[in-house]
Amino acid sequence: MRPVWSGSLSLGLVTVPVRLYSAVEDHTVHFRQFQRGTEDRIRYRRVNERTGKEVDYDDIVKGYELDSGEYVVVEPEELDEIAPGRSKSLDIESFVELDAIDPMFFDKTYWLAPAKEEFERPYALLLEAMRSSGRAGIAKFVMRGREYLALVRSGDGVMVLNTLHFAADLRDPAEQLPELPGKAKARGKELDMAVNLIDAMSDDWRPEEYRDTYTDRVRKLIKAKKKGETITPATEPGQPTKVVDLFEALSKSVESGKSKKKASGAKTPKAAAKKDLSSLSKADLEKLARERDIKGRSKMTRAGLEKALKAS
């Protein structure tokens, strides 16, 4: 696998040459485009709009349009020069609790590995230090002409780097949505039943049990069309729940959730509570904290919840 970026990871006076590798592989089905009724491919080319001739990639520069309609042309080398060293440096600026970062900020996932065997010792030291502390490093670096905010954390024997969205990139729902759904208020019995439904459906996170079923159906469709066969359409989405039937729908959902969990042998939060707290998920810790009426639990990190539960 080829690295997508090479540079140095810096923490204080400790600098480790590293390489960045993509941790995600695309398994979706990719199609070519054709003109309907023909076998003629549709292609996209970089064409000079004045001459109509195709232009080599190396002859293309970037231009920024001004209000006057004129353009300021910028060469790739000029973009590199305004951030000397940044394109080869990944500097950790601070450490934070991983649970403190809203999932909205997460973008792409990469592996961060030492560039050479001789750098494995300082790399392993930083990896173990982050694992032991339970914290992740916040850093910035430049890749492909763009600056990224990044989270560096310990993974399974390797550092994981997640690129993050800048706060300015996240839209404010109050400004973007025509009307926030805040007028309707949750009713007591319905809220209790909805919480019971969440508890009944709570389980451990097992990512291997989830797969892209839509891509599977696309592949089946392709095979069926190749053989001249047809494929059974998927089930239509359910009808919206009427407000008058909300409590009844929740009640039936709770019973269904409990039956599925019993059939699968999954452990409920109460059963899980008998385990050592360190083995519980944050969701189970929050459940226990709610049962014991621990104040301020909604703002606690996982470590804070565990500490509060031990003290209760």
DSSP secondary structure string for all residues of 116-133: SGGGHHHHHHHHHHHHHH
User: What pLDDT band is residue 63 in, cutting at 50, 70 and 90?
Assistant: very high
At residue 182, the pLDDT reads: 66
Q: Which residue has the tokens 């080829």?
A: 2
Of 46-60, 96-110, 152-166, 172-186, which range is least confident?
172-186
- C-alpha 101/C-alpha 97 separation (Å) is 8
Per-residue pLDDT at 284 exceeds 50: yes
Which amino acid is residue 53, in one-letter code? Answer: K
Does 141 share its domain with 275? no
Number of domains in the chain: 2
Task: Look at residues 140, 169, 198 and tell me which one is the last residue of a structural domain.
Answer: 169
Burial status of residue 119 (CB atoms within 10 A of its CB: 0-12, 13-18, 19 or more): middle
State which residues form the domain around 297.
268-312
Q: Classify residue 286: in a domain, yes or no.
A: yes
Does 157 share its domain with 278? no
Length of the chain: 312
Q: What is the end-to-end Cα distance of the chain in Å, rounded?
A: 50
DSSP H helices, 35-140, are: 76-81, 120-133
- C-alpha 142/C-alpha 93 separation (Å) is 15
Q: Classify residue 177: in a domain, yes or no.
A: no
Q: Classify residue 184: in a domain, yes or no.
A: no
Does 11 share its domain with 132? yes
CATH number at residue 119: 2.40.290.10
Q: Classify residue 290: in a domain, yes or no.
A: yes
Does 165 share its domain with 278? no
Burial status of residue 108 (CB atoms within 10 A of its CB: 0-12, 13-18, 19 or more): middle
User: What pLDDT band is residue 168 in, cutting at 50, 70 and 90?
Assistant: very high
Closest CA to 278 of 308, 302, 311: 302
Task: Look at residues 145, 169, 193 and tell me which one is the last residue of a structural domain.
Answer: 169
Does 132 share its domain with 273? no
